[in-house]
Amino acid sequence: MAQAEGVDLLCFPECFLQGYLTDAGPARRHAIDLRTARFQAILARLAPISPTLVVGLIEADRGKLYNTTVVISHGHLAGSYRKTHLLTSERIFTAGDSYPIFANKGLKFGINICYDTNFPEASAALANLGATVILCPANNMLPRDVAEQWKHRHNAVRCQRVKETGLWLISADVTGERADSISYGPTAAINPYGQVVAQVPLNEVGMIAVDVPIGFAPTR
């Protein structure tokens, strides 16, 4: 669908490749080392896809696990970002310590994964390095009472970040139910003025496509 619509940059949710695993056993079994032939085989399968892909996964590196998002362009790994702010439930992961910036057809973007957006310094780091867009892979599969409390707060927090930095923010979240948990989303695009310009309706599965201007100056 995205390729048919001419999308240049496509973002998927947090830990999309293997699922959001926070128990050490399953996470280690399914984690992937980005230097291995196994990952090269994944890249080869993605080579025919035109959009640059931003995909969440569980990474294994030298005995440590990371909540990582990779950037893949025509079957090549352009780079990766490791989540810097971890929840208590994510204690199996090691926190990242850098904020790489990526470019796609003139658009400079960085990544904040889900909980990262609660911390102004995470988005500020991207703005300071020249990004104009924050991509936010998210996985808000939460206990039902918590999900209900946060249903309308995710965008509110992200709006604070864009108003502080003058950047766009585009999130990709999961939607659905699992056991006693639920995720309502949202997958949304927020402009630098804190306006939600596109969103998948809460509790619905879907995709949004937005045009982000190239080379605009952040408004902060």
Instruction: With cut-offs at 50, 70 and 90, classify the pLDDT of residue 7.
Output: confident
Cα 220 from Cα 127, distance rounded (Å)? 10
Instruction: State the average pLDDT over residues 153-179.
Output: 96
| Euclidean distance between CA atoms 16 and 217, whole angstroms | 32
CATH topology classification for 9-199:
Nitrilase/N-carbamoyl-D-aminoacid amidohydrolase (3.60.110)
Please tell me the predicted confidence (pLDDT) of residue 174: 96
Which residues are 111's β-sheet partners? 135
Which distant-in-sequence residues (6+ apart) come within 8 Å of 41 by Cβ? none
Q: How far apart are CA 55 and CA 76, in angstroms?
A: 13
Entry pTM:
0.95
Kindly report the number of other CB atoms within 10 A of residue 136's CB atom: 29
> How confident is the model at residue 214, as a pLDDT?
84
**Mean pLDDT across the chain:** 95
Query: Per-residue pLDDT tens for 70-80?
Result: 999 999 999 99
* Residue 187 clears pLDDT 90, i.e. is over it: yes
**Structural domain boundaries in the chain:** 9-199
